[in-house]
Each structure stands twice: as structure tokens, then as C-alpha cells.
């Protein structure tokens, strides 16, 4: 990695090849087979983009493992948002009253918050965005997104505790 940071192309190609093999083993134990290649490629891109942050005073393994872990979590989030099978056309639908009521109550509660807090909570806690994705979507820093979620949830808790008709 030190030689690659210094601009040695051959060392960089060799490094990426060795990292690829390690990443394939890492993701093969953690992801479905069809997701391994995507995770490896995403991680290699992240390594390429962040190679300047590697400090030669420390071992490469933990630095690489931290990037791989973050990419693994991102891949799991992506998998969680994908439909697993197509729904049949003749699917019976239950009564939507509970869902409509819940959505209405949630909208009312979020309406009590500052718009940035409501948006951060909606993106991360309801829609399943990562903090990074919410940051990109809102144009706020990671810290601001986290702070808006924390303060918004605290405000919601206080509001709900004050409400007498909560079951």
C-alpha cells in the first residue's frame, strides 16, 4: 500500500488483486452468492477513493476490514429493501384501517417537529436510509442528520408522554 500511495502502478495492481481475494472470502461468508461480486467491487472502489487516508504507521488489515464491514452493512441494507419475490395478481388484501391510522398518527407526530428533524427521522427510521444516504438526500452533514434524529426522537418522546389519550 505504501508503494501504491507513492504512485507505483504495479504495486497498486498487485495490492488490488490480493485485496480482491481477501474480500471475496470475507463476503462469501456473509452474503448470498449473487451479492458477493457487487460487494467486492464496491469495497475496491471505496479503497481506491480512500487510499490516501491509509497511515503506513498502522497495519493495513484493520483499515481494510473497517471499510469492508461498512460496505457489508450497506449491502445488507440494500438487500433488506429489495422485494424477494413477485406478488401474485390475485393476492387478497386485508383491511387498511390500522395502516392508515398509523400513518395519520405518524404524520401528526412528525408535524410537531422542526422540518429537518421530521425529515431525518422519516428517511432513516421509517424509510430505512443510512445516515450517509440521508445526509446526501438532505444536504446536511452526517452530524446534523444524527443530531436531528436524536433531538427529534427526544421531542416526540416528551410529546407522547404529555399526551393523556395514548394507549
Would you tell me which CATH number, out of the four given (3.30.420.480, 1.10.1740.10, 1.10.10.10, 1.10.10.350), belongs to the domain 2-81? Answer: 1.10.1740.10
Sign (positive/negative) of CA torsion 42, 21, 81, 88? positive
Answer for the pair 79, 27: CB distance below 8 angstroms, yes or no. Answer: no
- % of residues, the chain, pLDDT over 90: 47
**Residue 10 pLDDT level (bands cut at 50, 70, 90):** confident
Residue 108: the pLDDT is 84
Answer for the pair 56, 2: CB distance below 8 angstroms, yes or no. Answer: yes
Note the pTM of the prediction, 2 decimals.
0.47
Q: Which cell goes with 15?
A: 495490492
List, as one string, the DSSP characters of 17-59.
Answer: HHHHHHHHHHHHTTS-GGGHHHHHHHHHHHHHHHGGG--TTS-
**Residue 8 pLDDT level (bands cut at 50, 70, 90):** confident
**Do 2-81 and 111-162 share a fold?**
no
**Residue 143 pLDDT level (bands cut at 50, 70, 90):** very high
The class of domain 111-162 in CATH terms is mainly alpha
Give the residue carrying C-alpha cell 398509523. 102
Count, residues in the chain: 167
Residue 23: the pLDDT is 95
Q: Which cell goes with 44?
A: 475496491
Strand ranges in 8-161 using DSSP code E only, listed in sequence order:
none
* Sequence spans of domains, the chain: 2-81, 111-162
Q: Which cell goes with 96?
A: 387498511
Neighbours of 114 (CB within 10 A): 12
Answer for the pair 160, 153: CB distance below 8 angstroms, yes or no. Answer: no
**Residue 165 pLDDT level (bands cut at 50, 70, 90):** low
Residue 113 CB contacts under 8 Å (≥ 6 apart), including other chains: 121, 152, 155, 156
Amino acid at each position: 500500500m505504501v508503494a501504491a500511495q507513492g504512485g507505483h502502478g504495479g504495486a497498486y495492481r498487485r495490492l488490488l488483486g490480493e485485496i480482491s481475494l481477501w474480500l471475496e472470502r470475507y463476503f462469501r461468508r456473509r452474503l448470498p452468492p449473487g451479492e458477493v461480486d457487487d460487494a467486492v467491487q464496491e469495497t475496491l472502489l471505496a479503497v481506491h477513493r480512500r487510499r490516501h487516508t491509509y497511515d503506513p504507521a498502522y497495519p493495513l488489515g484493520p483499515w481494510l476490514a473497517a471499510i469492508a464491514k461498512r460496505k457489508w452493512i450497506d449491502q445488507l441494507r440494500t438487500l433488506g429493501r429489495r422485494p424477494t419475490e413477485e406478488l401474485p395478481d390475485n393476492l387478497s388484501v386485508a383491511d387498511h384501517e390500522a395502516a392508515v391510522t398509523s400513518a395519520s398518527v405518524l404524520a401528526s407526530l412528525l408535524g410537531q417537529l422542526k422540518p429537518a428533524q421530521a425529515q431525518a427521522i422519516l428517511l432513516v427510521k421509517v424509510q430505512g436510509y443510512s445516515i450517509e444516504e440521508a445526509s446526501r438526500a438532505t444536504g446536511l452533514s452526517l452530524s446534523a442528520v444524527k443530531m436531528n434524529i436524536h433531538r427529534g426522537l427526544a421531542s416526540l418522546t416528551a410529546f407522547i408522554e404529555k399526551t393523556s389519550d395514548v394507549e
